[in-house]
């Protein structure tokens, strides 16, 4: 019986301190999935941030935001949203004291882009602790871990494949969320790789009645969910034209963009409430796509190709939407947006895929933790 088993001390090593909605909601979801399905107490584990392998050419993010074409009011709202985001951490059970290398029965690395090591993000850097280095756990597993847009070619380019392979081989069981990550691990190790969906898809968020608030919009709106500055002026103009033709307001969430009517600064669970009431969504992010999917909404996802060391999304977006039978929602040209948004989505098929993966995830976590 569950109550007679020894309570396991489980740590999640993830991106829980990154200030965006996707990172927060995947962290919360994985913690909830472990607590609800295993006999364990769960805590978040921090990693020491090291110098990134790619420099950001000295860009000042605040100045970049201020140069954005959005209204001054929305830019100020965005800066406040980022500044105040840490107040959400208490919901995860984390605070200003960092939890490095605790003694654990099981360390779970993931989900999110924990393996995306060839990048310029100074909040992450090149930290080998994200691959399990210096851990104090009896067992180390991963869950839906991702290399993001770090490829095998990039690992070789920066001469990092050997040390990454050495650490991967020490992990007991490896679960990833995409084909790119599966390919890298298969090439660098002889380990069998498990495939699982992102926790935001697996945790049944939209049936958590006490978690997701009810909002009562006074107007019809569409959501533009993208990082600040990633939507070009031409793309923003096309989106504005579509909104005007369909009598919709444009709500920007997650980043400020030109031509949007409002920037929505809200708590993470409220984001899902806004997606629930939206008429449609345009996004170029992994989790923006997922928020649309779990709300069964019409959406399109802009696919960005990586160029040199610049950040692209094609590896994770293409894999995600292919897995869910939604590859027709991908566009590379915003001119195709109206046609795709008008295509009906067979969400019964997609929801069945998610349900099957939900059962697989619960079995995986139970087996590996208990």
Q: Assess contact for 239 and 212: CB atoms under 8 A.
A: no
Name the 3-class secondary structure at 150: coil
The pLDDT tens digits for 177-213 are 999 999 999 999 999 999 999 999 999 999 998 999 9
Domain membership of residue 332 (yes or no) is: yes
Residue numbers of the domain that contains 64: 2-69+89-203+354-369
- Segment 218-243 mean pLDDT: 95
Q: 341 and 364 share a domain?
A: no
Over 90: is that where the pLDDT of 42 sits? yes
Q: Give the total residue count for the chain.
A: 370
Q: What crossing angle do the helices spanning 314-323 and 286-294 adopt, rounded to 10°?
A: 20
What mean pLDDT value characterizes the chain?
94
**Per-residue CA distances from 2 to 5, 84, 173, 370 (Å):** 5, 40, 23, 9
Of 173, 175, 152, which Cα lies nearest the Cα of 164? 152
The pLDDT-based confidence of 29 (bands split at 50, 70, 90) is very high
Q: Assess contact for 255 and 236: CB atoms under 8 A.
A: no
Domain membership of residue 84 (yes or no) is: no
Give CA–CA dist 185/176, Å, rounded.
Answer: 9
- Segment 28-53 mean pLDDT: 97
- Segment 145-152 mean pLDDT: 94
Q: 152 and 246 share a domain?
A: no
The pLDDT tens digits for 314-338 are 888 999 999 999 999 999 999 999 9
**Per-residue CA distances from 18 to 22, 79, 89, 92, 150 (Å):** 9, 15, 10, 13, 18
Query: pTM of the full predicted structure?
Result: 0.95
Over 70: is that where the pLDDT of 50 sits? yes
Q: 152 and 298 share a domain?
A: no
Q: 23 and 44 share a domain?
A: yes
- Segment 55-64 mean pLDDT: 65
The pLDDT tens digits for 352-361 are 999 999 999 9
Q: What pLDDT is recorded for position 4?
A: 64
Give CA–CA dist 291/272, Å, rounded.
Answer: 6
Give CA–CA dist 127/135, Å, rounded.
Answer: 13
Q: 122 and 56 share a domain?
A: yes
What CATH number has the domain bearing residue 219? 3.40.50.2000
**Per-residue CA distances from 173 to 75, 150, 179, 273, 335 (Å):** 44, 21, 17, 35, 44
- Segment 139-148 mean pLDDT: 97
Q: Assess contact for 291 and 320: CB atoms under 8 A.
A: no
Q: 101 and 190 share a domain?
A: yes
Over 70: is that where the pLDDT of 12 sits? yes
Over 70: is that where the pLDDT of 308 sits? no
- Segment 145-166 mean pLDDT: 96
Candidate from 58-67, 187-196, 216-225 with smallest mean pLDDT: 58-67
Q: Assess contact for 243 and 250: CB atoms under 8 A.
A: yes
The pLDDT tens digits for 233-263 are 999 999 999 999 999 999 999 999 999 999 9
The pLDDT-based confidence of 59 (bands split at 50, 70, 90) is low
Q: 191 and 214 share a domain?
A: no
The distance from CA 197 to its chain's CA centroid, rounded to whole angstroms, is 11
- Segment 259-283 mean pLDDT: 98
Domain membership of residue 79 (yes or no) is: no
Q: 187 and 270 share a domain?
A: no
Give CA–CA dist 200/198, Å, rounded.
Answer: 6
Q: What pLDDT is recorded for position 310?
A: 54
Q: 56 and 188 share a domain?
A: yes
Domain membership of residue 81 (yes or no) is: no
Q: 173 and 213 share a domain?
A: no
Alpha-carbon Rg of the chain, whole angstroms?
Answer: 20
Domain membership of residue 325 (yes or no) is: yes
Q: 238 and 282 share a domain?
A: yes
Domain membership of residue 158 (yes or no) is: yes
Domain membership of residue 312 (yes or no) is: yes
Q: Assess contact for 231 and 224: CB atoms under 8 A.
A: yes
Give CA–CA dist 317/290, Å, rounded.
Answer: 10
Over 80: is that where the pLDDT of 57 sits? no
Tokens representing 176 are: 């990833």
Q: 142 and 230 share a domain?
A: no
Tokens representing 89 are: 């951490």
What CATH number has the domain bearing residue 181? 3.40.50
**Burial environment of residue 171 by CB neighbours within 10 A (0 to 12, 13 to 18, 19 or more):** buried
Q: How many domains are contained in the chain?
A: 2
| Long-range pairs of 352-359 with CB within 8 A, sequence gap ≥ 24 | 353/323, 353/324, 353/325, 354/197, 354/201, 354/202, 354/293, 354/294, 354/324, 357/196, 357/197, 357/201, 357/202, 358/202, 358/204
The pLDDT tens digits for 97-117 are 999 999 999 999 999 999 999
The pLDDT-based confidence of 1 (bands split at 50, 70, 90) is very low
């Amino acid at each position: 019986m569950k109550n007679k088993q020894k309570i396991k001390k489980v740590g999640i090593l993830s991106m829980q301190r990154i200030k965006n909605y996707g990172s927060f909601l995947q962290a919360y979801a994985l913690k909830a999935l472990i607590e609800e399905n295993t006999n364990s107490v769960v805590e978040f584990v921090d990693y020491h941030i090291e110098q990134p392998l790619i420099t950001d050419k000295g860009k000042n993010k605040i100045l970049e935001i201020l140069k954005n074409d959005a209204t001054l009011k929305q830019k100020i709202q965005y800066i406040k949203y980022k500044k105040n985001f840490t107040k959400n951490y208490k919901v995860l059970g984390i605070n200003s004291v960092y939890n490095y290398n605790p003694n654990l029965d099981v360390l779970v690395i993931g989900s999110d882009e924990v393996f995306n090591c060839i990048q310029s993000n100074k909040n992450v850097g090149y930290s080998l602790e994200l691959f399990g280095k210096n851990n104090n756990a009896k067992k180390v597993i991963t869950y839906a871990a991702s290399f993001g847009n770090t490829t095998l070619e990039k690992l070789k380019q920066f001469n990092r494949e050997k040390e990454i392979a050495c650490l991967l081989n020490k992990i007991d069981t490896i679960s990833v969320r995409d084909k790119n990550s599966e390919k890298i691990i298969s090439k660098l190790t002889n380990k069998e790789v498990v495939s699982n969906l992102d926790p935001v898809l697996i945790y049944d968020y939209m049936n958590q009645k006490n978690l997701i608030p009810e909002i009562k919009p006074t107007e019809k709106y569409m959501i533009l969910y993208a990082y600040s500055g990633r939507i070009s002026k031409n793309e923003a103009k096309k989106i504005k034209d579509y909104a005007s033709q369909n009598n919709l307001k444009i709500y920007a969430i997650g980043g400020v963009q030109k031509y949007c009517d409002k920037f929505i600064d809200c708590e993470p669970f409220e984001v899902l409430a806004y997606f629930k009431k939206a008429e449609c969504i345009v996004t170029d992010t992994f989790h923006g796509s997922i928020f649309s999917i779990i709300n069964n909404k019409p959406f399109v996802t802009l696919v960005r190709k990586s160029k040199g060391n610049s950040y692209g999304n094609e590896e994770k977006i293409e894999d995600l939407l292919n897995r869910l039978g939604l590859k027709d929602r991908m566009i590379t040209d915003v001119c195709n947006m109206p046609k795709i948004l008008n295509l009906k989505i067979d969400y019964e098929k997609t929801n069945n895929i998610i349900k099957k993966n939900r059962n697989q995830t619960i079995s995986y976590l139970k087996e590996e933790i208990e």
